Amino acid sequence: MAIERCETGIPELDQILRGGIPKGSVVLLAGGSGMGKTTLALEFLAHGAQKGEPGLFVSVTEAVHVLERNAREYLFMQPGYLDDGAIRLVDLRAMAHKMGLTRSEGYTFDDVEALVEAFTSIVREYRIQRLVVDSITAVCQRIDDTAHIRDFVFRLGLALSRLDCTTVLTSETPPRQLRYSMFGVEEFIADGIVFLSEIERHNDLVRTLQVIKMRGTDHSRAKFMMDISEYGVSLAPLLKKFGDTSGG
């Protein structure tokens, strides 16, 4: 039986993934600040809107009005996508405040349960097929222990998969380190990891993308050069002579 795919809308990435992300997967989009995680995630949602697949972007660290202003600068983001609800932008802090999750000491086990329910409820209500949480790192920083972080990511992924929602969780990582998450548990629960990094070339820093894993599909593990413009993300093969000399 052929695997149902969720195209990212970035042709080279879909080619790497042999047609796209397996539908219903949870993918960790990992990388340091400025690597292009939010841009790639927005393009993923815009392609879904083009195909008639409703999307939801849950912002954890950036105000929604700033996110919307920046999103409209990209040519792949048609104004109608945001205006007609094809892509919904939600502030997690506002959601948490409505749920009464305002305590400064962090989220308890019961709070984690409520968060999972809140995510699944909005996905079910608006029939969301593509979800972005930017960033899962900021959410996990509010959870009081590693066991609860593991439980939150696992339960969220399972609930969304049952709703056939393909989810991208952005993960902040320390610069120039081969790590995919801050807490060391997220990458083991996620179905896929797409790692954004950078290498030095001719005294310049070049962004790179590498698919580390993707359950349910064969894929290339090669590192690609990544460029970001008003048109979105584009990838090109990383020539060996320009490759990372660090041995990683």
| Domain-located, residue 247 | no
Mean pLDDT of 148-166: 90
At residue 53, does pLDDT exceed 90?
A: yes
**CA proximity to 8, closest of 248, 219, 178:** 219
Q: pLDDT tens digit string along 167-206?
A: 999 999 877 667 787 777 778 889 999 999 998 877 788 9
Task: Report DSSP letters for 129-155, one per residue.
Answer: SEEEEETHHHHHTTBSSHHHHHHHHHH
Whether the Cβ atoms of residue 10 and residue 43 lie closer than 8 Å to each other: yes
| Domain-located, residue 97 | yes
At residue 24, does pLDDT exceed 80?
A: yes
- What pLDDT is attached to residue 246? 44
Whether the Cβ atoms of residue 21 and residue 6 lie closer than 8 Å to each other: yes
Enter the pTM of the model.
0.90
Q: How many domains does the chain have?
A: 1
CATH number at residue 200: 3.40.50.300
Domain that holds residue 22: 5-240
- What pLDDT is attached to residue 240? 61
| Domain-located, residue 52 | yes
Structure tokens, 144:
């009081």
| Domain-located, residue 176 | yes
| Domain-located, residue 96 | yes
Mean pLDDT of 36-49: 97
| Domain-located, residue 204 | yes
| Least confident window among 40-44, 56-60, 83-87, 149-153 | 149-153
- What pLDDT is attached to residue 245? 45
